[in-house]
Amino acid sequence: MYKHEIEAYINKEIEVLKSLDISSIDSVLNAIVEAYQADANIYIFGNGGSAATASHFQNDFNKGISEQLDKKFNFVCLNDNIATVMAIANDSGYEYVFEYQLKGKLKQNDLVIAISGSGNSENIIRAIKYAKKQGVKTIGITGYDGGKLAKIAAISFNVPVNDMQITEDVHLILDHLMMSILMKKLG
Torsion of CA 117, 122, 123, 128, to 10 degrees: 80
171: number of CA atoms within 13 Å, CB side?
35
Confidence category of residue 176, pLDDT binned at 50, 70, 90: very high
The alpha carbon dihedral of 23, 166, 53, 128 has a sign of positive
Q: Which pTM was predicted?
A: 0.97
| High-pLDDT (> 70) share of the chain, % | 100
pLDDT of 187 reads 79
Q: Which fold has domain 3-186?
A: Rossmann fold (3.40.50)
pLDDT digits (tens, 9 = 90+) for 57-109: 999 999 999 998 999 999 999 999 999 999 999 999 999 999 999 999 999 99
Residues sharing a CB contact under 8 Å with residue 54, sequence separation 6 or more, in sequence order: 44, 45, 46, 77, 78, 79, 80, 113, 115
| 2 backbone dihedrals φ, ψ, rounded to 5° | -115, 15
- What is the arithmetic mean of pLDDT over 168-182? 98
What is the 8-class DSSP label of residue 158?
E
